[in-house]
Amino acid sequence: MYISELEHVTIPKIDNKGGSVVILNTGSVIDPEAQAMLAALHSRHPGGIKAHLEQLGKRGAKKFMEETYVGYGHKSVGDNGSITIFIEGVSMLVAKAIQDWPLYNGQEVSTRYVDWGEQIFINPMSDAGSRNVLDNMRSFYVEGLPALCANLEERFPRKKNGDALYVRKYQKAIRARAFDILRGFLPAGASTNLAWHTNIRQATDKLEWLRHHPLAEVRATASTIHIALREAFPSSFVNEKVYVKSETCRRNYMLHDYLYHNPSTTTFQMRRTTVDILAIPRNLLEDRPIKTEFPEKLRHYGTMTFEFPLDFGSYRDLQRHRSAIQEMPLLTTEIGFEDWYLSELPEDLREKAEKLLFSLEKRLGSWGLTREMQQYYIPMGYLCSNCITADLPSLVYIAELRATRFVHPTLRKVAGMFADTMLDHFGEYGLVLHLDNEPDRFDVRRGEHDIVLG
């Protein structure tokens, strides 16, 4: 069978406001439900995979999954059936809600390498006033991009004797820097696409929470994903048991306690540490080579908790570290706008940006929206209160990876604070960190980090 002949389950988002969910059909003869059945048989019958394949050929997987996974509630059976879900045309708020999950695997459209001038900005209000606000943000982004690129070329001139390959890298690096700056003025309601690679069990578990999310768009997306999964894998996603008390518990948490907001979070601070540094062999702390992660065993020895302001754009990057426990921040204008985005603009653009933000804040408060709904119109350069808890291996990995010249400067600053705090507390016990010696240097190699079609 040719790829063009494969039929993928495609369901438009049920709120009829754009977006869709696609369940990928790989064309595999042994599909996710069959994979789950084979692994389950392997756990109960020692006959070996050949015998299990014979059973699969005779019985098929549908009845087995209906009885064993759904009927008897053997959830571990669902761990072995891999699914790839493509969610398209949803706001960044939806993407963050889906990705707020320690078991998430997938990708999202990058604001660092993609021109967002033509992306749809999702507008729940759909009135003239809100459309005008979003149109102004788009105009600022589209009109500001060429002027900002020209300004950056003056600030970071290319070498005169560079070959054609160098020139291409340089130009991509300049645009990436411009995108880094202008993303701060994109609303969180800008539409994006994401891929979610999961399994039958994890999809079920995550959707149980998403269907109670405070935002209607997230709830609609969760319902659409569930409909698509039922169509693609009816034996695993139909007639799931629903427990009223469990649903009430999840609903109460998601509506009242899920989104984190502490407007007094204006500085970086370590709230607590339980790391037992003396339990870790000193030679391991001192002699770990560069680009070498600590062994998993060190996770036993405690965690550190930090609270700090960080713009929503860089929160999106930090959230990718699933080994850390991170609160989902509520995006507001209360803590203010990240100065870095404004400081990187040439003077005329900076004046336009300041007027844009002033007008937004003035109008936002007059619309009578809930704080959750206001997020759609708030640019991603506004600061959120962030709270993160992680063990030493995770924090060392984040600090070393993110405190480099190739990382967005506002996240790089926070990663550097992670590093400084760990060295202050544990440096005397032998902890060594391998950090970028020139984190603020403009590096043309940024232009190599894009993913392009051949």
> pLDDT for 163-180, tens place per residue?
888 888 889 889 999 999
Where residue 301 falls among pLDDT bands split at 50, 70, 90?
A: very high
Per-residue model confidence (pLDDT) at position 110: 84
Which contacts of 148-155 are long-range, i.e. CB under 8 A and separated by 24 or more positions?
A: 148/178, 148/181, 148/182, 148/345, 148/346, 148/349, 149/174, 149/175, 149/178, 151/345, 151/346, 151/349, 152/177, 152/178
- The pLDDT confidence band at residue 241, using thresholds 50, 70 and 90, is confident
Confidence band, pLDDT 50/70/90 cuts, at residue 102: very high
Question: Where does the pLDDT of residue 437 fall: very low under 50, low under 70, confident under 90, or very high at 90 and above?
Answer: confident
Higher pLDDT, 445 or 92: 92
Structure-block tokens of residue 124 = 């729940």
pLDDT in tens, 363-413: 998 999 999 999 999 999 999 999 999 999 999 999 999 998 889 999 999
Asked whether the predicted pLDDT for residue 5 surpasses 80, the reply is yes
Residue 119 phi, psi (nearest 5): -70, 145
CA distance 448 to 284: 34
Say which residue, 330 or 452, is predicted with more confidence: 330
The pLDDT, as a whole number, for residue 454 is 40
Question: Where are the CATH 3.30.1360.170 domain residues in the chain?
Answer: 3-110+190-253, 259-448
- At how many degrees (to 10) do helices 49-59 and 32-44 cross? 130
**pTM, rounded to two decimals:** 0.90
196 phi and psi angles, rounded to 5 deg = -125, 110
| pLDDT score, position 411 | 96
Mean pLDDT confidence for 329-337 = 97
pLDDT class for 278, splitting at 50, 70, 90?
very high
Q: Between 3.40.50.720, 3.40.50.450, 3.30.420.40, 3.30.1360.170, what CATH number should domain 259-448 receive? A: 3.30.1360.170
Domain 3-110+190-253 sits in CATH at 3.30.1360.170
Exposed, middle or buried, 50 (CB in 10 Å: 0-12/13-18/19+)? exposed
CB atoms within 10 A of CB 165: 10
